[in-house]
A and B are shown apart, each in its own frame.
Chain A
Amino acid sequence: MSRPADRRHRLTPYVFIGPAALLFAAFSLIPIVIAITLSFQDTQTLGEGQWVGVDNFAQLGSDRLFRTALVNTLVFTIGTVPTAMAAGLALAVALNRPLPGRGVLRAMFFVPMVAAGVVVGVIMSWIFNVDYGVANNALALLGVDRIPWLTSPNMAMFTLIIVVVWTRIGFCMVIYLGALQSIPSELKEAASIDGADRWARFRSITVPMLTPTTSILLILNVVFSLQAFDVIYVMTGGGPGFSTTVLIQYVFRSAFQDGQMGYAAALGLVLVGILLVFTLLRQQASKRAESFL
């Protein structure tokens, strides 16, 4: 082959990947570098910041709001992730059987996924409105007093968790359904011939076979929960008080309401750190689980 053609060959892949690389550099790489430099600066406005070393990170230690946000994030994640996954698994197992109308049922469980977070937020704010909401109107028929779903600091987080689980169940169900369908039916047949009942088959065949899926879903769900913004922003804005202020909410607040870009960047990097640590821990845990098996 002639040399110019050869050189053209070698350039071809760069032409194909060029646009992606360019967009990546401009809108991912550069912003990440800026975020890291910003986190060492004190910026009250969009102007030039002053270098303050690790002050922003040191400030985190004495920031009570940061601690509140951290605890809220933990509560929110623990409240949403296992609940959505368990419900999704239960539905997937139920709808994996040949039931009449299961196609329609699957679609109905899945459909909340298509609604934008903002739409979910406004619908649920309306449904859980203390005075006129259909939730309280229906409960009133049963003689239950009006519940301050979103207006009481003790209730708001609980309500948010219900709402987010509602949006997440369909996703978990679909992923589990896919995994269930890839379990070879011979395994279950063999087990039932050996006399294993349904629960035993579920525990000793289905659950272990689903472990890789559960692992992926766990990571995805934790990432989703740590990044959940739209629904919380629309429904409570982090309130009442700071009862539903999660880390993401606090980053947004620091940057765009308090104008503390440097501090917000530091907060954001801490969040990435938490995500990374979680992913690594999770990998370690699954490695150990594998060696145990």
Chain B
Amino acid sequence: MSTTVRPAPARTENALPDGARRRTSRTSPRRWLLVAALSLLALLMVFPLYWMVISALTPGGQSQSSQFYLWPEAPTLSNFSEVFSTQPVWRWIGNSLLIAVVTTAISVCVSLGAGYALAKYRFWGKGLLYTAFLITIMIPIQVTLVPSFLVVARLGLVDSPWAVILPTAFDVVGIFIARQFMLSVPNALVEAARVDGAGEFRAFFQVVLPTCGPLIGVLVILAFMARWNDFLWPMVVLQGNESLTVPVALSTLTNNPAFASPWGAVMAVATITVLPILVVFLAFQRQFVQGIASTGIK
């Protein structure tokens, strides 16, 4: 997880006067106490996610009781089979995947292009445009929720995946991150390509883009997570049960009377919602954390 594993802390200890260094090694029981306390806290932090999975595997009888337990007596997949057989869960997953993948693809391309233009070109209206982009970060979605809905309705897109895809493909934070990255791409590289006779677009695609691997990784992870987890906007523009995304469907399940044990079914779908992101997180922890961190360093 450590984004930067530096030797710095070790050096600090070595630089301490002799007496201090011996003290540090002697206080190691205290260090273990700290680790124990942190571990306990960390377990508390992951407990809700653990509990989600456990509840999804617990039969209705046991979950609807006031008995405390940490592991179900008879783990079962019946909650999954029940919810998959009574609800269009595969459709929801398909909708979510389609929307998340297409939006991510579009928004990453859009951000890369915009970031490149803002970093490497001087053109009329650049400052104004960039300022306008940045201001939209300040405006909460709820303010533009109604008007955006009116625009989408005017375009006849309500209940279609494009109603979700198009408005969310414009990602200011992504553009900002792309611009910062492109600023660090040496101008000489672009110039050299031009001198070699490459056109503007070949210079971008064949010279600049290949250096953008880490940037693209961060943009893809951030966009996919945001789109996969998105709730309010999809809830407003998607209406039929068949066209919902997983998070929106999940929110409708809690008060669905169709289930013998609604919580088991809800936790089963919740588990399905978290799983893809969790896998991406565990596989690309470093990029993931860097991505999140880079949204904070504005």
Contacts and interface: CB of A to CB of B under 8 A. Distances in A.
Interface stretch (B85-93, B212-220, B265-273): B265-273
Contact of B270 (A123, A175, A181): A123
A164 interface: no
Nearest to A275: B138
Contacts of A134: 51, 68
A30 B147 contact: yes
Interface of B: 1-4, 6, 8-12, 15-17, 20, 31, 34-35, 38-39, 41-43, 45-46, 48-49, 51-52, 55, 63-69, 109-111, 113-114, 116-118, 121-123, 126, 129, 132-133, 136, 138-148, 150-151, 153, 166-167, 169-170, 175, 200-201, 204, 225, 228-232, 236, 247-248, 250-251, 253-254, 263, 266-267, 270, 273-274, 277-278, 281, 285, 288-289, 292-293, 296-298
- Residue from A35, A107, A126, A268 with most neighbouring chain B CB atoms (10 Å): A126
Contacts of B20: 192
A255 B145 contact: yes
Contacts of A112: 45-46, 48-49
B25 to A, nearest CB: 12
Interface in A121-135: 121-127, 129, 131-132, 134
Contacts of B136: 24, 28, 32
A118 B68 contact: no
A169 B230 CA distance: 20
Given A127-B51, A227-B141, A255-B145, A97 B9 contact: yes
Given A17-B117, A99-B38, A118 B267 contact: no
B147 A108 contact: no
Nearest to A252: B142
A13 B130 CA distance: 13
B17 A193 contact: yes
B273 A178 contact: no
Nearest to B46: A108
A27 B52 contact: no
Given A102-B2, A275-B140, A140 B113 contact: no
Contacts of A178: 3-4, 293, 297
A216 B68 contact: no
B68 A137 contact: yes
A76 to B, nearest CB: 14
- Residue from B175, B236, B292 with most neighbouring chain A CB atoms (10 Å): B292
Contact of A269 (B123, B143, B297): B143
6 contacts: A26-B166, A116-B274, A134-B68, A174-B296, A216-B298, A226-B140
B35 A118 contact: no
A101 B35 CA distance: 8
A58 interface: no
Given A26-B166, A27-B167, A119-B247, A181 B66 contact: no
Interface stretch (A64-72, A148-156, A229-237, A282-290): A229-237
B110 A252 contact: no
Interface string A213-227: 000110010010011
Contacts of B1: 103-104, 106-107, 110
A236 to B, nearest CB: 12
A46 B152 CA distance: 13
Contacts of B292: 113, 171, 174
Contacts of B247: 116-119, 230
Given A116-B229, A276-B138, 12 more contacts: A8-B200, A9-B200, A13-B121, A16-B121, A23-B110, A30-B147, A111-B281, A126-B51, A217-B296, A233-B231, A251-B145, A275-B138
A141 interface: yes
A160 interface: no
A27 B150 CA distance: 10
B117 A234 contact: no
A279 B113 CA distance: 30
A29 interface: yes
A234 B117 CA distance: 41
Contact of B296 (A117, A124, A216, A234): A216
Nearest to A177: B3
A110 B68 CA distance: 27
B295 to A, nearest CB: 8
Contacts of B251: 118, 121-122, 233-234
Contact of B45 (A17, A28, A111): A111
Nearest to B17: A193
A14 B123 contact: yes
